[in-house]
Amino acid sequence: MKMCTTTLFPLFLLCVFTSYLPSTSADGMVVDTKGENVTYWGQYYIIPLERDPFSGGGADITTTGNETCPLTVIQSYNGFSDGQPLRFSSDYRRSPFLLEGDYFDIRLPGYLSCTTVFPLKWTVLAEDVESGVLYVKIKGYDNTIDGFFKTKSDPDHKGGYNLFFCDYDDECSYLTVKVDDDKSRLLVFTKSDKNRLVIQFKNSKRELKATA
């Protein structure tokens, strides 16, 4: 900015101030397993950073309780499975690429034949809020909490991310796995970061070569 070179003190201050503001919120790019920017048009698997056969795979859906449709968001039981591809969308996005700290929605692309619900968004249930465990379901439940998801680099695991659910008061919880009585690996959000799931984003599409 040319204005920055001015010796006029108030203008200089203004310049510093205005150029300082964006940089505080200019969070890092979220990159996928290949180091490429995660986009709002692509489809991604949410998979654990550290993969092993016994501690679960990517985000998936299943039927639990009295559900007649797979509305429960889980971590795939199979550690080698990537789960279901997901898409991200945001009314508040600052770039075509996902930035750390962006608020976004998560949904499964396409339809489920057992429900007319569309889009198949991840929602967070208000039941069991006292226990501090927020269950993730595909849209269709009434008792959901309004809010958004966001992601940030994990402070302790290079290349890994944390996924958060934040309500409208910006109270955020960490993505965690809760193994239920049926041994389903439920994806839930909890206040504590102790057992947070460290994730990465894997593009579900093969790379297209830009050749004719």
Ligand X SMILES: *[C@@H]1O[C@H](CO)[C@@H](O)[C@H](O)[C@H]1NC(C)=O
| 144 beta partners | 125
Looking at the Cβ atoms of 6 and 95, the one nearer to ligand X is 95
Q: How far is the CB of 67 from ligand X (least distance, A)?
A: 8
Rg (CA), the chain: 20
Residues that bind ligand X (CB under 6 A): 29, 37, 65-66, 95, 97
Q: Which of 204, 106, 203, 196 is nearest to 157 (CA)?
A: 196
Q: How far is the CB of 24 from ligand X (least distance, A)?
A: 17
Pairing type for strands 185-190 and 120-125 reads unpaired
Q: How far is the CB of 184 from ligand X (least distance, A)?
A: 15
Q: How far is residue 135's CA from residue 187's CA, in Å, rounded to a whole number?
A: 7
Looking at the Cβ atoms of 100 and 105, the one nearer to ligand X is 100
Strands (E), the chain: 44-48, 59-62, 72-75, 87-89, 105-108, 120-125, 133-138, 144-145, 147-153, 161-167, 172-179, 185-190, 199-203
Cα angle value 129/134/138 (rounded, 5°): 130
Looking at the Cβ atoms of 79 and 140, the one nearer to ligand X is 140
Residue 156 exposed, middle or buried by CB count within 10 Å (0-12, 13-18, 19+) = exposed
Looking at the Cβ atoms of 59 and 74, the one nearer to ligand X is 74
Q: How far is the CB of 111 from ligand X (least distance, A)?
A: 19
Q: How far is the CB of 41 from ligand X (least distance, A)?
A: 12
Looking at the Cβ atoms of 22 and 65, the one nearer to ligand X is 65
